[in-house]
A and B are shown apart, each in its own frame.
Chain A
């Protein structure tokens, strides 16, 4: 079964903390991953996408893929209250994307 798993949270951190959000995947055929951020009552917004192993950085956000353990991570440095949202990971499949169910992040001032 092609699945992408995420802990639903909520993950609560103080402002300024480093946040680590994680997903595991089961299908190794496609090594193309995306992270989406979804604010309450809004649609998911594409944050980053990354291909194969290694890191990709964009400002305070770093996406990491570990092929050997089938693990993908999103790190947020210097977290802000405005980062409070649900974060969804997604994996490219044969014809569409497979989404995790999302992790809720709460950053308190």
Chain B
């Protein structure tokens, strides 16, 4: 079974802090993703990575950055946390293999980090 592990289930931080969310997958997947999920807005893609040291902006990258130094680990960074970044953050991974060989294969998710910015 694919295991995607997010380092914290719940996190409380203060406005202006630099916040790191960590994600590790154990299936040697090439692709990794960060989403945020808010009521009524669904899943929104922040950033994704299709290889080590590679990153692509998703739909809402503003205020976030990412780091992928190792294949199994993908970090989301809130450079200066703001209250509108209070949300559930979900990490996902997928293999690159498949009929199209890209970053659009079925994704496997972690259980999320519920982040509150005060």
Contact = CB atoms under 8 A, between A and B. Distances in A.
Interface of A: 8, 30, 32, 34, 36, 41-46, 49, 88, 92-97, 99-102
Nearest to B91: A43
A22 B62 CA distance: 32
Contacts of A94: 102, 104
A38 B35 CA distance: 14
Contact of B56 (A43, A95, A100): A95
A99 B112 contact: no
Contact of B104 (A43, A88, A95): A95
| Contact-residue size bin, chain B (C-beta under 8 Å from the other chain) | 20 to 34
A88 B44 CA distance: 13
Given A96-B48, A97-B107, A43 B43 contact: no
A44 B35 CA distance: 12
B40 A96 contact: no
Contacts of B112: 41-43
B42 A102 contact: yes
A95 B42 contact: no
Contacts of A100: 42
